[in-house]
């Protein structure tokens, strides 16, 4: 019985530590960008309809792009997803993932553009576990501190896959 309590306690602690690590890395990156007066023109936020799904379920997530500027911005995009399991291992995307593009749209000052994605089309969730999911998008006209295209990441969400 003691082992079960330890395991039940260790799993949430691991997921929290992983999430804090992702936030810390992004926080350091954002601080470096701010020091160089480089700010993204948008933010990304993920939400899931439920925090728990069965193996083989359809998993819809909503990605919301928020315009952080004082003018309209283009919302054409390519999403890149990241999933990390409870052991800290990155889950590979399917061998072929259709790129999601929005053509001919714009987001007004302070407005949001939501769209949905079926997550199981991006990752194969064929075993139970907890997964930290986040999405990124390249900033079309900005470069980071290394001269590379700026990448904007969403905050991670956690989903649990049960058998």
5-39 pLDDT, tens digit each: 444 444 444 444 444 444 455 556 555 544 545 68
User: Residue 64: which pLDDT band, with cuts at 50, 70 and 90?
Assistant: very high
Residue 6, pLDDT score: 44
Q: How far apart are alpha carbons 125 and 162 in whole angstroms?
A: 10
Residue 162, pLDDT score: 95
Residue-range domains of the chain with CATH: 2-162 (2.60.40.2970)
> Average of pLDDT values for 111-134?
92
> Average of pLDDT values for 107-135?
92
Residue 145, pLDDT score: 80
> Average of pLDDT values for 122-151?
88
Q: How far apart are alpha carbons 16 and 75 in whole angstroms?
A: 31
Render the burial of 48-75: b for 16+ CB within 10 Å, e for the rest. beeeebeeeeebebebebebeeeeebeb
Between 15 and 120, the higher pLDDT residue:
120
What's the helix, strand, coil split of the chain in %, to 5? 25, 40, 40
Q: Is the pLDDT of residue 52 over 50?
A: yes
Share of the chain above pLDDT 70, in %: 71
> Average of pLDDT values for 83-89?
94
Which DSSP category does 47 fall into? Answer: E
Q: Is the pLDDT of residue 104 over 50?
A: yes
């Amino acid at each position: 019985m003691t082992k079960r309590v330890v395991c039940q306690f260790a799993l949430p602690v691991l997921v929290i530590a992983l999430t804090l690590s992702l936030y810390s890395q992004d926080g350091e990156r954002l601080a470096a960008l701010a020091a160089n007066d480089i700010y993204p023109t948008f933010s990304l936020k993920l939400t899931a309809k439920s925090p728990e799904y069965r193996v083989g379920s359809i998993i819809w997530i909503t990605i919301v792009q928020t315009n952080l500027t004082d003018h309209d911005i283009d919302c054409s995009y390519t999403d890149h997803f990241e999933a990390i399991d409870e052991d800290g291992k990155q889950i590979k995307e399917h061998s072929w993932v259709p790129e999601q593009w929005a053509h001919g749209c714009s987001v007004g000052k302070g407005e949001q553009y939501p769209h949905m994605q079926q997550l199981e089309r991006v990752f194969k969730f064929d075993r139970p576990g907890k997964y930290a999911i986040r999405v990124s998008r390249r900033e079309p006209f900005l470069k980071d501190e290394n001269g590379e295209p700026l990448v904007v990441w969403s905050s991670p969400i956690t989903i649990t896959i049960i058998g």
